[in-house]
Amino acid sequence: MARVCEVVSPHLPLALLSLVLVAACSGAPPPAALNSRDFLSTAVSEDGAAKSLVPGTRIQLRFVDGQVNGSAGCNSMSGGYTLADGRLVVDGLGMTEMGCDPARHAQDEWLAAFLTARPALALDGNNLLLTGSAVIMRLVDRRVAEPDLPLAGTLWTVESVIVFDGVSSVPGGVMATLQLRADGGFDVATGCNSGGGRFTVADDGLRFTELNLTRMACAGAAGQMETHLLRILQADVVTYEIESRSLTLQTGEVGLVLRGE
């Protein structure tokens, strides 16, 4: 007996209907097609009408090693997932407990409910479609929507400081920047002093050498920022990761998160 394919919503545009039929009738994409990929929402509708997200937010989903991580603008949520009969099946979804304003808190809860309601899933190249009983969510691969900035040539401004598992914002009035040049040199402003040196990129990370700075005395928040930045620049090796406009530098228990322009 032939299997009857389920069309989740009669309101799907024809161009997207074929994607849902592929997911529901011929099987969902294998996990490898989703693994280590991030997706950002481009359009969301609910009950046949466009759904307005909280201003300044968008839905982000990441699939890594059998885990799906989601964000709707405030808290992060994560749980194991499988693909079954063209549907995303999420179990044991947990969420951080950051304090959010009521609108973003409600949006977090809405996304969590949607992800755990077994939405139909269809992947077509860089485009991901999730369809529930009332919600249609279209997403695109983050690398397409927000390509990674280049390591060299970008002006990176320190946004936050990492110590062990804690992340704190840069104190107000303190600005520290780092710019790596294509010729292998770098320029740095520590929040107090300025200077530069040389850098190399290896398989295990970055190495900074020949550091030369001005010698102003730095106190308070500016001095603390400089001390933290120098721990990065004077380390034997620094791991780095670029995600869209964000650069994370890490050595041991300390690190920095920088924003690129």
Q: Say if 14-145 and 155-260 have the same CATH topology.
A: yes
Domain map (residue ranges) of the chain? 14-145, 155-260
Task: Count Cα neighbours of 16 within 13 Å in the Cβ-side half-sphere.
Answer: 20
**Overall fold of domain 155-260:** Lipocalin (2.40.128)
Residue-level pLDDT at 30: 57
pLDDT interval class at 100 (50, 70, 90): confident
> pLDDT, tens digit, for every residue of 189-224?
999 999 999 999 999 999 999 999 999 998 999 999
Residue-level pLDDT at 23: 39
In the predicted model, is pLDDT for residue 231 greater than 80? yes
> pLDDT, tens digit, for every residue of 28-73?
555 678 999 999 999 999 999 999 999 999 999 999 999 999 999 8
> pLDDT, tens digit, for every residue of 149-189?
999 999 999 999 999 878 888 888 899 999 999 999 999 99
Distance CA 23, CA 144 (A): 22
Query: What's the CATH code, domain 14-145?
Result: 2.40.128.270
Q: What is the pTM (predicted TM-score) of this model?
A: 0.62
